[in-house]
Structure 1
């Protein structure tokens, strides 16, 4: 991208941060984010820096947008300025301009000091869509909706490949026996050398399902190794690691676009449909909730999926207010 386009995108990103972007501008940013992962990483850095800057300037009454504009005018045509490459440092200069004009130059020096002594950290977040990211070692991670992962910009000087997960993701890890791949999620640690597996975490529990290779799951002083067709569930606030066989493929839905139901309760399918479609489907009666379903749904409009469920179980599907009732 040329310099003018870089500046334009930075200005649009700031407008998004301020909540001042028009629908057209927001769409332009969304399209830019979809083009390549580099843009998503840049935006993650941008949001992090913007957040830190706003925290430091929280007591200021000066408009961030006005400060930015005055900063750009002030720096135009100045001599003796060494041009910076377009990377995290140029972002710091632009975003921290707010700090320069609100909290003073001392704060800017403080911000740069923090950045220079801390390892560069990349944070990638998925919002309403799944997202696939390639890590510095070539490992590939697929984030489910509303999930995030943080990791160093490179693993070169590290003894292990440390990442932090929030939400749900599928990992396909590049083998490296000299540098184990370590995932921190909630209060659980997952360690692998080279394998593929799924991790799901929420306020109730953390679940790890292995597809290939071996995975070590640890909490406090407990460690358990699981292999393909096995899973571990770690309830929140519980020290126990619960190891079980796993023949379920339902968890793959966000990667494959298919709901593969292998003798699962209808309540489990409905729970996932509510999550995916942001719906409010309610099942009347415990017997119906526990009825098993054995089929595969392609990702389709919710109405079509509900019609198939209704025909399969010979039940009615009724709209009542904001709820869809199965009975």
Structure 2
């Protein structure tokens, strides 16, 4: 897309055919929309600079006409006249006839802007860029409740309680970068030219477009892939994951474990459901302790592997425990903050 046409478009000087051409170009790629937005900011900056140092063309033109008329009114010398005394005067700079076409004037300004792009780029970085969302590190924090939002690149995120992420995408960078702690589900917007990268304390996860869950704590980082493919790396160790696979990087070790993900309990904080499909009781108790911030213990090891197949949809802890006791013929004993499940 030619810069001249974008200038005309910003000035609303384009014809219907040119408008259609620009709109079709914008639809081709999100990068084109970014380019127009950035071009508009630079364009507005150039106009501001021009207004700060205006050239009074009308005054210059009137001055030129005044000097010209003075020259015409002076009589031509006769042969008998004494030669005129020469007086050294500064040369008169003849100004070009000012243009009245606004578009032409601004096109000339635009040409100057393009030639001086390096200078304007410096102004852009130091005055405009800090206010632009793509040049700031944006932060999301979930405290006592989950948080769902969308990153500026279109990636959907869901943060579990007590989780935090920061996002940055540089204008001329080659990647989109997230740093996180806690647990976050990502539904990454596809962009082949800018990979999406998640960094935890001990792991780097890189994708183009996919959905996956990352859980990071001081003991380990766990990555579970829901759709697409994910590359997980730490130092020189690289693991590639497919759907329903997970990687575990434990603190203090250099290896990365890779295994199948056997249940859907990891997404309870996002879906508000506990999906159980022959899930052992010990595993469900582990997730309940995390979800409800309680301490549930299994009083008899023999019941720890009892399978459960059902779905709890946004139910209270008491409802879940009552249902488990009915299904598995168990009973619950509460002692202070400890809940014990027994035969």
The alignment's TM-score, normalised by the length of structure 1, stands at 0.62
Q: Deviations over 1:147-168 (max 9, x none)?
A: 110112x442321101101011
Aligned counterpart in structure 2 of residue 291 of structure 1, from 302, 306, 312: 306
Say whether residues 1:282 and 2:287 are aligned partners. no
Partner SS, residue 218 of structure 2: coil
**Is the Cα–Cα contact under 8 Å of residues 265 and 287 in structure 2 kept in the other structure?**
no
Aligned counterpart in structure 2 of residue 228 of structure 1, from 243, 261, 277: 243
Structure 2 distance, partners of 1:265, 1:146, is: 27
Say whether residues 1:124 and 2:140 are aligned partners. yes
Size of the aligned set, in residue pairs, is 213
Q: Deviations over 1:187-214 (max 9, x none)?
A: 1000001111111112222111111111
Structure 2 distance, partners of 1:167, 1:160, is: 22
Q: How big is the alpha-carbon RMSD for the aligned residues of Structure 1 and Structure 2?
A: 2.1
Structure 2 distance, partners of 1:206, 1:138, is: 25
Larger Rg: 2
Give the superposition deviation at 1:124.
0.7
Structure 2 distance, partners of 1:155, 1:174, is: 16
Say whether residues 1:320 and 2:324 are aligned partners. no
Say whether residues 1:182 and 2:200 are aligned partners. no
**Is the Cα–Cα contact under 8 Å of residues 250 and 262 in structure 1 kept in the other structure?**
no
Say whether residues 1:141 and 2:160 are aligned partners. no
Moved over 3 A (4+): none
Match of 2:186 in 1: 171
Q: What stretches of structure 1 of length at least 5 have no aligned partner?
A: 1-114
Q: What stretches of structure 2 of length at least 5 have no aligned partner?
A: 1-128
Give the superposition deviation at 1:278.
1.9
Say whether residues 1:215 and 2:227 are aligned partners. no
Q: Deviations over 1:200-258 (max 9, x none)?
A: 11222211111111100001101111111211111221111111122421111111111
Structure 1 distance, partners of 2:159, 2:240, is: 23
**Is the Cα–Cα contact under 8 Å of residues 136 and 155 in structure 1 kept in the other structure?**
no
The alignment's TM-score, normalised by the length of structure 2, stands at 0.59
Aligned counterpart in structure 2 of residue 305 of structure 1, from 308, 312, 320: 320
Structure 2 distance, partners of 1:148, 1:184, is: 12
Aligned counterpart in structure 2 of residue 158 of structure 1, from 167, 173, 177: 173
Structure 1 distance, partners of 2:304, 2:251, is: 25
Structure 2 distance, partners of 1:257, 1:316, is: 25
Structure 1 distance, partners of 2:292, 2:226, is: 26
Partner SS, residue 167 of structure 1: strand
**Is the Cα–Cα contact under 8 Å of residues 155 and 188 in structure 2 kept in the other structure?**
yes
Structure 2 distance, partners of 1:227, 1:155, is: 29
